[in-house]
Amino acid sequence: MKDKVNEICILIPSLKNEIDWRRGKTLEGKDYCKYVFKSGSTLDNIAARESSRGKRKHGGLVEECVGVDGQIL
């Protein structure tokens, strides 16, 4: 996700201006990314695991769905 967001920011420079890049707001790591926009909206990723059940999310994308447990998803 981090690579795609950076790629989109290169293609659309105005998007880069809308992300709050301050320390503690936008988080980029190996397995987790969270982008906070100046409007207050967020874009983050979570894994389909037992620990992520019950969290409120408005959209989803599943890659490599063969390895995802259907009951948890």
The region that residue 20 occupies, defined by phi over 0 for left and psi between -120 and 50 for alpha, beta otherwise, is: beta
**Predicted TM-score (pTM) of this structure:** 0.64
* 9: nearest Cα among 23, 24, 33: 33
Query: Residue 5: helix, strand or coil by DSSP?
Result: helix
Give me the pLDDT at residue 33, please.
85
Confidence category of residue 10, pLDDT binned at 50, 70, 90: very high
Residues 34-43: tens digit of each pLDDT: 899 999 888 8
Dihedral Cα 22, 24, 26, 32, nearest 10 deg: 160
Domain count, the chain: 1
Question: Does residue 72 lie within any of the structural domains?
Answer: no
User: Domain residues for 21?
Assistant: 2-67
Question: Does residue 57 lie within any of the structural domains?
Answer: yes
Question: Does residue 73 lie within any of the structural domains?
Answer: no
Q: Residues 17-22: what's their mean pLDDT? A: 91
